[in-house]
Amino acid sequence: MSSTDETLPADPQAYVAQVMAEIAEEVRVRRASGDLPPKLERELDELFLAHSPVAGRGGDLGDALRMVDAATFIDPVVPVESERAAGAVVKKGMRSLLLWYVGWLTHQMSQSTSAVSRALHIVDDRLQELERQVEGQRVPAAGVVEFPAFHHADAWWVEPTVAAVAKAPGRILHVACGDGWLVRRVIAAGGDAYGVDPRSRVIDTSALGPLDLRGEPVGQHLRAVAAAGLGAMVLSGTVEGMAGAERSQLLTAIGSRLAPGGTLVIHSVTRQAWEAADAPPETDLAAGRPLRPEAWCSLLEQSGYDAVARSGPGGADFLVTAVRAAITSPYQPVER
Amino acid sequence: MSAAAGGPVAVHQFIATLNPHDATGAHALRLREALRTAGWRSEIFAEAIHDDLAAEAFKHWMYPEHAAPGDVAIYQFTTSSAVAGYVAERGLPLILDFHNFTGPEYFAGWEPQSVRRAAAAADELALLAPRALLGLAKSTFSEEELRRAGCRHTVITPVLADYRRVAAPPDRRVAAELAHLGADGGADILFVGRIVPSKAQHELVKALWAFRRLYDRKARLHLVGGTSSFEYSKALQGFVHDLGLSAAVRLPGEVSDAALAAYFDAADVYLSLSAHEGFGVPLVEAMVAGVPVVTRGAGAVSDTVADAALVLAAADPSYIAAAVHRVCTDGQLRATLTAAGVRRAAELSGDAVATRILRAVAAVVGGP
């Protein structure tokens, strides 16, 4: 089939591109002629899916139960076809001899799998009811709430924040980093900073250069960070609209990812600023409301931080700087 | 870093499994030789060692017996392994040799244990990548993944593989069997790789079905490779049976190097429809063997084959069948792809690759 004596084209890439175009045209013509209707290709997909395990078809519990139901009955009448001449006769004889025994076993197995199937259907019904109830009570995750007056490189809190984190013992994460305005400042001060922001649209990946900015939610990002992998974290525009449970989950995640001795800086706005007429519309939609500086200090101290709060010049926002205490454990690390 | 002052005493490799039959194992062995030749001390430490290589490596927990100040670790990252945590814990200057791994999404619904293993591998990458002085990526695809995980200094270096094994004398028994099968005509389509969902062998079966229906009723498909996915393998065999292709689709399992050479020798076209490939060593082996390659450009495949393969623009069986037909019947196209393949394989083979790796290592840890 091969032909190695052929003359090679002068421009192989252009030649291959031409071949690809001809193949596409060939397929178009074939399709138009009805040689291979699209319906047949769909049937191929369905045929393969029929062999795949349930979750391969989307992980639907209803599908799983249908497969369980279909497999509930175990047939004791084994097939007797054979490629050898006498094989079928021998197999048929063996089946007749053993049918009473195999039938007794398979009957019990069918009963057992039917009981399991019934139980799974009850679980399915209850799960569906629970899902309906939970759906009605679902609290939407808080998004970034950006106040133009506070979230920019010249804001009053930027300098003390940079001073607090730039010498951190590890990477410094700015949450709700936007286009990287604070990350740039920290890097300029000698810190190893990067940022995440759930609003991936605000990160212009084509203009990042050496900047490390990632478009993903902070919770998802922290799950991928190693324990004690961060030297410092800065949260701005992040915590104000969080409901209690979400805030608690975030603090737990931060607690495990921030190195002992690491710094957590939280910039937040007061409730007055949150409820002012010119506040961003996200404030109306958020599930939670801002905590007061005293509440943040109390919450962080309960979580093992030494926290200090300071208010901004207009009294509309504040900065909490918290240092995570070094871990004290009665157990000493094992010398290797 | 202690290594920076006077150069490292040793550059050791850590790996999950050292197996002579997989690309990473062969890569680690060849890299050790290159490191030693360049003047470094170098050993391999592994969690699991194939019996044939028992004398070639140590268990990873034996490293302290060989440790010396200034040691540098190269971690061969392919899958989740206890070695990742061990390497991180030792705090050695680290080079991450990243072969990529198949993400959990490719196993979802098939193998729950593989989903968990792949998710753990992602966690281990997040643990190691930010600590690495250097990331060695096998393609731009893998380099992007390394950078996303936090590795700041990366270099692209291909796999150090021994592609010559496919040019070895073919196994005579297998060659005779394939010749017998092909005596009545019909194209031989080959794919080499583990039978797992991410390699999408079922798509190859669909393509064969369409190819036989439209162009070549006697065509055969050889799916060489073992399996680590019982569910997928079972589904594939059921699918083949239902399509009435049991005689046309051959699943010989894992084969020896000589048998593999026989399969490449008999193949008219190498077809890959994998949904994910970290590099794709068999693609290069096909090029070395002079077999034209038709492939989907998933994962790192486009990087690996460059312009030396017919990279498919669509994945529907009729399109693939038309592409395979064209390669099988158009002498000029075969000659073009074969010539480009031999050239591309030469770029990815030999001492030049080892030199690139050694140069990258020396640039960050100092010379031997």
Please indicate if any CB of chain B lies within 8 Å of the CB of A228.
no
| Model pLDDT for residues B228-241, shown as the tens digit of each residue | 788 899 999 999 99
Q: How far does Cα A291 stand from its chain's mean position?
A: 28
SS3 content of chain B, % helix, strand, coil (to 5): 50, 15, 30
How far is residue B223's CA from residue B191's CA, in Å, rounded to a whole number? 5
Q: Is the pLDDT of residue B309 over 90?
A: yes
Q: Give the residue from B253, B27, B42 showing the smallest Cα distance to B158.
A: B27
| Model pLDDT for residues B239-252, shown as the tens digit of each residue | 999 999 999 999 99
Q: What ranges do the domains of chain B cover? A: 2-161+350-365, 163-347
How far is residue A237's CA from residue B260's CA, in Å, rounded to a whole number? 59
Question: Within 10 Å of residue B110's Cβ, how many Cβ atoms?
Answer: 21
Which residues are CB-contacts of B210 (< 8 A; sequence separation ≥ 6)?
A: A36, A41, B317, B318, B320, B321
> Given this model, what pLDDT does residue B2 score?
40
Please indicate if any CB of chain A lies within 8 Å of the CB of B235.
yes
Q: What ranges do the domains of chain A cover? A: 68-137, 158-324
| Model pLDDT for residues A101-147, shown as the tens digit of each residue | 999 999 999 899 889 989 999 999 999 999 999 888 877 777 899 99
CB contact under 8 A, A171 and B130: yes
How far is residue B12's CA from residue B368's CA, in Å, rounded to a whole number? 12
Please indicate if any CB of chain A lies within 8 Å of the CB of B109.
yes
| Model pLDDT for residues B30-67, shown as the tens digit of each residue | 999 999 999 999 999 999 999 999 999 999 999 999 99
Count of positions (residues) in chain B: 368
Percent of residues, chain A, with pLDDT higher than 90: 46
**CB contact residues (below 8 A), chain B span 174-193, against chain A:** 187
Q: Which of A2, A20, A28, A173 to mutate to test the interface with B (most CBs of B within 10 A)?
A: A2
Residues of chain B contacting A36 with CB distance shorter than 8 Å? 210, 213-214, 317-318
Residues of chain B contacting A24 with CB distance shorter than 8 Å? 313-314, 319
CB B125 within 8 A of CB B114: no
CB A195 within 8 A of CB A174: yes
Please indicate if any CB of chain A lies within 8 Å of the CB of B238.
yes
Q: Give the residue from B312, B329, B218, B226 showing the smallest Cα distance to B269.
A: B329
CB contact under 8 A, A30 and B338: no
DSSP-derived 3-state class of residue B136 = strand
Mean pLDDT over the full length of chain A? 85
> Given this model, what pLDDT does residue A306 score?
94
Chain B: closest CA distance from residue A244 (Å): 28
Name the strands in the sheet holding B72-77, side by side, starting at the edge strand that comes first in the sequence: B58-59, B44-49, B11-18, B72-77, B94-98, B134-137, B154-156
Chain B: closest CA distance from residue A309 (Å): 32
Report the Cα–Cα distance between both ends of chain B, in Å, rounded. Answer: 15
Q: Is the pLDDT of residue B293 over 90?
A: yes
Q: CATH assignment of B163-347? A: 3.40.50.2000
DSSP string for B197-255: GGG-HHHHHHHHHHHHHHT-TT-EEEEE--BS-HHHHHHHHHHHHHTT-TTTEEEEES-
CB contact under 8 A, A13 and B108: no
Please indicate if any CB of chain A lies within 8 Å of the CB of B365.
no
A165, two tokens:
């984190």
Chain B: closest CA distance from residue A31 (Å): 9
Third-level CATH fold of A158-324: Rossmann fold (3.40.50)
H/E stretch holding B64: helix B63-66
Q: Give the residue from A309, A267, A311, A274 showing the smallest Cα distance to A289.
A: A274
Q: Is the pLDDT of residue B284 over 70?
A: yes
Q: Which residue has the higher pLDDT, A23 or A46?
A: A23
Name the strands in the sheet holding B249-253, side by side, starting at the edge strand that comes first in the sequence: B249-253, B220-224, B188-192, B269-272, B293-296, B310-312
Is the backbone of residue B280 left (phi > 0), alpha (psi -120 to 50) or beta? left
Beta strands (DSSP E) in chain B are: 11-18, 44-49, 58-59, 72-77, 94-98, 134-137, 154-156, 188-192, 220-224, 249-253, 269-272, 293-296, 310-312
> Given this model, what pLDDT does residue A324 score?
87
Q: Give the residue from B234, B235, B231, B211 showing the smallest Cα distance to B221.
A: B211
Q: CATH assignment of B2-161+350-365? A: 3.40.50.2000
